[in-house]
Every structure is written in structure tokens, then in C-alpha cells.
Amino acid sequence: MKNLTLAELATITGGELHGDGTVTVSAVAPMDKAQEGNITFLSNVKYSKHLGDCKASAIMVKESERELCKTNVIVVSDPYVAFAKVAQALDTTPAPAAAIADSASISSDATIGQNVSIGANAVIESGVVLGDDVIIGAGCFIGKNANIGTGTKLWANVSVYHEVVIGDACLIQSSTVIGSDGFGYANEKGEWVKIPQVGSVRIGNRVEIGACTTIDRGALDDTIIEDNVILDNQLQIAHNVHIGYGSAIAGGTIIAGSTTIGKYCIIGGGCVINGHIEIVGGVTITGMGMVMRSITEKGMYSSGIPLQPNKDWRKTATRVHRIDEMNKRLKTVEKLIEKSAES
């Protein structure tokens, strides 16, 4: 358990403390469940009526809600961001590995930085460069000439193929695969001819990648993930995809090859994005979106039919299938009206 004083947390959040700075807290808790020793936050003003009943040792709020609190308060500009910073400061998650395990297999010509930890049964191949403070979890595979930047952490069983470059301060969750072959084949009279994937994957700094995500290497050029991108669990990112700075992609999304996604895009879970298209910066795509063509203007986009009772859904589906027929009938009616008007 980790304890921090409210004065320390005010400094961490850049907030203004109103109350006893010597009070210590050890965890962040939801407002309705918080007790003494917890700190909580209000990010939605519709719950402000409950502030007076909160039993937490401290609450992080905006100035407009400060007078509603009956306990210690840290006034911040964005309580949700403050919550994230406090949660980081109180985090007690163990490291993926400590020191270098005896069972780790490390090539004699790999370059290992200062204070590197490598877990049991990890494999570090020839020419690999690991920066200072890198942590490689148990069972990871780091292929030939891969380069992993300072402070990056890999949880257990991550596979990083040859020539892949990963930047500084990245976090990669268990069983993710980076740099496997893209889906590249030519068809010769019904027979598939494999196209060697000679590009690589380049991942920027401060990128976080969830568990069981696959990022394919490029066919010719590299697959690129820019700085400050967050990728959820179980994504499929195909060869030569380019994801721009600060974008976020939720779980289960599939991105086909050679697609470019701009800066600060937010893509919901379970989306399917066609290959060889471009999505400009600032686009939000809601969950289960099917993107077949390029998106050239920023904004929010959705597709698909939201959940309905099955009886209603069947009616909707029937109407959708009849749109072409209805369109033809409408055009026929329009022509009849035009002829009638002419006569």
C-alpha cells in the first residue's frame, strides 16, 4: 500500500488544496463508496448533489462545486485528468520483471542498457538494442536487430519480430505480436504466391498497446504508429497502416492494409476499416462502424443499426432490403408526374 499526503497530491495534480495537507490517502475510490483514507473526484456535475454525503478524506472538484463539499477539497481544472494523475501516483502494479533471470536467453551481441530487467525464458536475439530501464516480461521474444527505447515495458509473452523499432516509455500488454507478416499474396491461376513482407513496424514514444493485439509489418514500407497513440486489446492492424499522433482505438477493431489514420482520431470498439483509404485528423467513429471509403472531413461518424427488440429489427431489416425497389417505384411515380405536368 502506498500513502501520499493531500499536499503532495495537490502538487501532482496542479490543484489548490482547501483543507488539511497532512491527511494521507492510499487509494482512489468511487464517490459513493469512498471511505476515510480514500480520495475521490467529481467529473459529472449531475452527481454534485451527493458531494455533501461523501465520506472520502478528500474530493477533487472544480471551483464551482467546492462549497458543496464537507471534507478536504483539491480544486482542479479537470477532475478526471486529476484522477488519472493521482491513480498513477498511488499505483502499486508490480513490474513485469525484476533483474535478469538466469533462464533468459540473451545473444552475446545484443546491446543491453542500464537497469534493464528481463524475465524468465525470454529470448533476446542477435543485434537487439534495449535502452536503459527497459523491462522485458517472462517468455517474451525479441527478434534480430529489434530496437526498444528507454523505459519501455513489455508484459509476458509479447513477440517483437526482427527489425521492429519501439520508442521510449511505451507499455505493451501480454501476448501482443508486433511485426508478424502482413496478408500479402498474389494469385497465379488459383494458386497463392506469398509476397515477402520486407518492411517493418515503427512505433513512436509513449504508445500503449493492449493484450493480444497484432500489428503486421509492412509489405515494402513500414507500418507506423506515431507518438502518444493508445491501442486497446485484440486489434488487428494490417501492413503499412499509418496511425497518427494521439489517436485512440478501442478493442476488437480491424484495420486493413495501407490505411492512413490522422491525428487525434477516436475509433470505437468493433469497427472494420477498409484498406487503402485515408481518415483525416479529428474524426470520431462510434462502435461497430464499417468504413468503406475515405473520410475527408473531421467529425463524428456512425454506421449500422442500433439494437432493437427482434420483432422491430426484423421490420427494419425488411425495409432496408426493399430500399432499391422503393427507389425504382419512386422514380416511376416522378416520371408520371412530370409527364402529367407537361400535358
pLDDT in tens, 115-159: 999 999 999 999 999 999 999 999 999 999 999 999 999 999 999
CA atoms within 13 A on the CB side of 272: 4
Share above pLDDT 90 across residues of the chain, in percent, rounded to a whole number? 94
For the record, the C-alpha cell of 185 comes out as 499474396
What distance in Å separates the CA atoms of residue 294 and residue 39, rounded to the nearest whole number?
45
pLDDT in tens, 60-71: 999 999 999 999
What distance in Å separates the CA atoms of residue 272 and residue 292, rounded to the nearest whole number?
8
What distance in Å separates the CA atoms of residue 41 and residue 45, rounded to the nearest whole number?
11
What distance in Å separates the CA atoms of residue 43 and residue 47, rounded to the nearest whole number?
9
Among candidates 225, 234, 212, which has minimal Cα distance to 263? Answer: 225
* Angle between helical axes of 6-13 and 79-90 (0-180°, round to 10): 120
Other CB atoms within a 10 A radius of the CB of residue 124 amount to: 27
Q: Which pLDDT score, from 0 to 100, does residue 237 have?
A: 98
Query: Domains of the chain: which residue ranges?
Result: 4-90, 105-301, 310-342
What distance in Å separates the CA atoms of residue 197 and residue 191, rounded to the nearest whole number?
19
Cβ neighbourhood burial of 192 (10 Å; 0-12, 13-18, 19+)? exposed
What distance in Å separates the CA atoms of residue 341 and residue 343, rounded to the nearest whole number?
6
- Across the range 273-298, mean pLDDT stands at 97
Q: How would residue 223 be classed by pLDDT, with cut points 50, 70 and 90? A: very high
The architecture of the domain spanning 4-90 is 3-Layer(aba) Sandwich (3.40)
Asked if 150 and 133 touch (Cβ cutoff 8 Å), the reply is: yes
> Residue for cell digits 407537361?
342
pLDDT surpasses 80 at 343: no
Which are the catalytic amino acids?
Answer: 239
Asked if 126 and 146 touch (Cβ cutoff 8 Å), the reply is: no
Q: Which pLDDT score, from 0 to 100, does residue 312 have?
A: 95
Strand 260-261 with 230-231, pairing: unpaired
Q: How would residue 261 be classed by pLDDT, with cut points 50, 70 and 90? A: very high
> Which fold would CATH assign to domain 105-301?
UDP N-Acetylglucosamine Acyltransferase; domain 1 (2.160.10)
Kindly report the average pLDDT of the chain as a whole number.
96
pLDDT in tens, 17-33: 999 999 999 999 999 99
- Give pTM, 2 decimals: 0.91
What distance in Å separates the CA atoms of residue 65 and residue 133, rounded to the nearest whole number?
42
Nearby residues of 16 by Cβ (< 8 Å), 6 or more positions away: 10, 74, 75, 76
Q: Which pLDDT score, from 0 to 100, does residue 60 have?
A: 98
